[in-house]
Amino acid sequence: MADLFSSSKSGKAEAKGKSSYSAKDIEVLEGLEPVRRRPGMYIGGTDEAAMHHLAAEILDNAMDEAVAGEASRIELSLDPDNWLTVRDNGRGIPVDPHPKFKNRSALEVILTTLHSGGKFSAKVYETSGGLHGVGLSVVNALADELEVEVAREKKLWVQTYGRGKPKGKLKSAGSANRRGTTIRFHPDPEIFGTEAEFRPARLYRMARAKAHLHRGVEIVWSCDKKLIGPKDETPEKAVLHFPGGLSDFVTEALGDRRSFTPQPFAGEGKLGSNGEAEGRIEWALTWPADGEGQIDSYCNTIPTPQGGTHEAGLRTGLSRSIKAYGDLVGNRKASQIIADDIMEGALGALSVFIRDPQFQGQTKEKLASSGVTRLVEAAIKDHFDHWLASDPATANRLLEALIERAEERAQRKRDKEQVRKSATRKLRLPGKLADCSEGTSDGTEIFLVEGDSAGGSAKQARDRRTQAVLPLRGKILNVATATSEKMQGNQEIADLALALGCGTGSRFELSKLRYERVIIMTDADVDGAHIASLLITFFYREMPDLIEAGRLYLAVPPLYRLTQGGHSEYARDDAHKEELLKNAFKGRAKIEISRFKGLGEMPPPQLKETTMDPTRRTLERVVIPQGTHKETQKRVESLMGRKPELRLKFIQENARQAADLDI
Ligand code: 28F
């Protein structure tokens, strides 16, 4: 079972190769109240998008059963009134009584306890989604009604739940001559609102991707006709089965476009060498002539839209291989090619299966398992070398196309450098700005930091080549209440606009922005949150296109450091601290907890490690969710604007949702 917080550390100890499951293997940690109290912590929000994580989670569990070779067919059906049913023909969730809980079945424990991942043996659960999935229990907690049916050992079992609590006992419902698990549920309107609904197109896309990722599974899709909108091309019924796996996916995605490779570069294999299998890899890639590509990556069939270590391996594998091929055929220009040239125009998918995957980011959309990079690189390099050598005509065509792309990129860079140089010469930069040295905005970022002391730490912690730091003094002006005169005269705002170089309001020009990313970095406390709100309001009012372009971010500094012996972990808030205390440490040795009063207090190396280093930090992108412009405008006006009564109203209406006010 895929489970967000199952600790890989405790899981590993059990890799002894048992092949049958028993109820005592389930590790019990806690009840479901935390999930209902803070749904966002588990599924990344409470909007419609987050609601789809529930569907993904159930589907992931069924997929796990298929990838383990135990299920061959999965049914997914969307009924009216927002009920979703997922059924697999796997072994069925175990129903035997749980030894620790009298009168409770393993099934009930799995559905009602957070983190009831098991200490799975490697054999039973070779490719569990591990940390990513939020677990059946999280779905159960966030469904106002859920029905589960298990067909196992010739018997049929049923049980129903409401908001995570069993409505009755697990009941035997006669005999069964099939096997498998069926879960039917309805997302709780108290959590997601009464308007949120599953989107057929989105579920269908999810199901298709899964079917491409495991050729041994057939996914049967059905959706009530009434739910499909007039412009929606989602079929009412479909059987998704792709014997060609990812190659089928690429062929379809390419459509009737021309590509530099008549056949996709596709393959599969074991990850790891010298007999020690560390996982599996499968890929299919092509390079469309129009340069419009996209690479979808997955780990254990779970999408990783933010990439991660497996994509990093693909990048280096491909670029080393093509450069080596250039060398081989004596093409000097091949040395200019960089990984971006190969990746940006590529169309395809990469899928890895590994044990105990580690995911990163709020919604766990990035693979963090570090060993994977090297393994993927080795597998890809090896196969790509052979593939290029075996078809020189195709290889040369691809090489020429990539060289052309590299040359164009170099030209663009020269043009931009010219622009920036002339722009910066004219422009006097604010004195407090510690600018970066890079000639163009590509890959650069500016940190807007609260206060001179934090600014000082940030200046020491940064990478001078790509990271600039602008300290801002205290609370900046609230642009939602200030007159334009007051704004013109405000030093902090003037400095900020000068540093960014892109103008404000109607004179804003995105192409003049001097950095690729603008990162607000404030303390992890209420004052910090206030300053961040003021800054976001400024950007929202004066440079909305900068937000729209996805260029505004929030840094996520930690609030606590937890240390046990030489092992440290950082927590961004109290809940995260509690979670780490529970899961991230072994043994009984004392865990020291220190609370950072502010960024300025943090030694620069720690600030770098936790918050600034692009390879280790987490950033939150500031977005205006699609289709919510009107609401956003109103919300900003009521929360930040001139009318205090709107604020009061908002507080009165929403105070109930503030579970843990910091007062
Ligand atoms: C509709 C969603 O969730 N399918 C699932 C199984 C099968 C087993 C299982 C699931 C064992 C140790 C917990 C059965 N027999 N579809 C699903 N199918 N979970 S979820 O086991 C749960 C774990 O701790 C299963 C033997 N081993 C595993």
Question: What's the gap in Å between 92 CA and the centre of ligand 1?
Answer: 6
Q: How far is residue 562 CA from its own chain's centroid?
A: 25
Beta carbons of 481 and 554 less than 8 angstroms apart: no
Q: How far is residue 432 CA from its own chain's centroid?
A: 35
- pLDDT at site 24: 54
Residue nearest to atom 13 of ligand 1 (CA): 118
491: left (phi over 0), alpha (psi -120 to 50) or beta: alpha
382 is catalytic: no
- pLDDT, averaged across the chain: 87
450 is catalytic: yes
Question: What's the gap in Å between 522 CA and the centre of ligand 1?
Answer: 43
Q: What is the pLDDT of residues 592-640, one digit of tens each?
A: 998 888 888 888 999 999 999 998 898 999 998 887 888 888 888 888 8
DSSP string covering 510-537: GGG-S-SEEEEE--SSHHHHHHHHHHHH
DSSP string covering 571-621: ESSHHHHHHHHHHS--SSS--EEEE-S-GGGS-HHHHIIIII-TTT--EEE
User: Ligand 1: does its nearest atom lie under 6 Å from the Cβ of 406?
Assistant: no
Q: DSSP character for 136?
A: H
Mean pLDDT of 37-52: 90
- pLDDT at site 422: 63
Give me the catalytic one of 126, 248, 377, 523: 523
- pLDDT at site 533: 93
- Residue 572: pLDDT band (50, 70, 90) is confident
pLDDT higher at 275 or 437 = 437
Phi, psi of 165 (to 5 degrees): -105, 135
> Strand, helix or coil at 374?
helix
- Residue 27: pLDDT band (50, 70, 90) is very low
Q: What is the pLDDT of residues 336-359, one digit of tens each?
A: 999 999 999 999 999 999 988 888
- pLDDT at site 484: 77
Is a pLDDT exceeding 50 seen at residue 132?
no
How many CA atoms within 13 Å lie on the side-chain side of 529?
6
527 is catalytic: yes
How many CA atoms within 13 Å lie on the side-chain side of 32?
24
Residue nearest to atom 12 of ligand 1 (CA): 118
- pLDDT at site 427: 62
- pLDDT at site 661: 56
Spatial CA neighbour of 449 closest among 466, 468, 427: 468
Give me the catalytic one of 197, 218, 516, 527: 527
Distance CA 449, CA 335 (A): 40
| pTM score | 0.62
Phi, psi of 360 (to 5 degrees): -130, 160
Residue nearest to atom 24 of ligand 1 (CA): 118
30 is catalytic: no
Share of the chain above pLDDT 70, in %: 89
- The tokens describing 143, both together, are 């469904």
Spatial CA neighbour of 327 closest among 410, 286, 388: 388
- pLDDT at site 127: 39
Mean pLDDT of 538-559: 94
Question: What's the gap in Å between 211 CA and the centre of ligand 1?
Answer: 20
pLDDT higher at 298 or 483 = 298
Mean pLDDT of 305-326: 96
> Strand, helix or coil at 470?
strand
Distance CA 258, CA 545 (A): 34
Segment among 51-65, 433-447, 526-540, 639-653 with least mean pLDDT: 639-653
Distance CA 356, CA 129 (A): 7
pLDDT higher at 169 or 25 = 169
Q: What is the pLDDT of residues 356-376, one digit of tens each?
A: 888 887 677 899 999 999 999
Distance CA 482, CA 479 (A): 5
Burial of 610 (0-12, 13-18, 19+ CB in 10 A): buried
356: left (phi over 0), alpha (psi -120 to 50) or beta: left
Distance CA 324, CA 316 (A): 12
Residue 392 CA: distances (Å) to CA of 167, 359, 375, 387, 635:
66, 39, 26, 9, 59
Residue 503: CB atoms within 10 Å? 15
Let me know how many helices (H) and strands (E) the chain has, helices first. 22, 24
- pLDDT at site 124: 32
Is a pLDDT exceeding 60 seen at residue 7?
no
Residue nearest to atom 15 of ligand 1 (CA): 91
Cβ partners under 8 Å of residue 580, min gap 6: 562, 569, 571
Beta carbons of 84 and 160 less than 8 angstroms apart: no
Which domains does the chain possess? 33-240 (3.30.565.10), 246-409 (3.30.230.10)
Distance CA 285, CA 297 (A): 11
Is a pLDDT exceeding 50 seen at residue 134?
no
Question: What's the gap in Å between 79 CA and the centre of ligand 1?
Answer: 24
- pLDDT at site 135: 84
Question: What's the gap in Å between 38 CA and the centre of ligand 1?
Answer: 26
Spatial CA neighbour of 496 closest among 459, 529, 447: 447
Spatial CA neighbour of 189 closest among 39, 3, 41, 34: 39
Spatial CA neighbour of 640 closest among 447, 468, 481: 481
Most ligand 1 atoms within 8 A of CB, residue of 64, 93, 109, 219 to mutate: 93
Residue 439: CB atoms within 10 Å? 15
Is a pLDDT exceeding 50 seen at residue 567?
yes
What is the amino acid identity at position 368? A
Distance CA 566, CA 504 (A): 48
How many CA atoms within 13 Å lie on the side-chain side of 74?
29
Spell 454-465 as b/e; 16+ CB within 10 A means b: bbbbbbebbeee
Is a pLDDT exceeding 50 seen at residue 475?
yes
Question: What's the gap in Å between 210 CA and the centre of ligand 1?
Answer: 18
- pLDDT at site 90: 96
What is the amino acid identity at position 369? S
User: Ligand 1: does its nearest atom lie under 6 Å from the Cβ of 554?
Assistant: no
Gyration radius of the chain's alpha carbons? 27
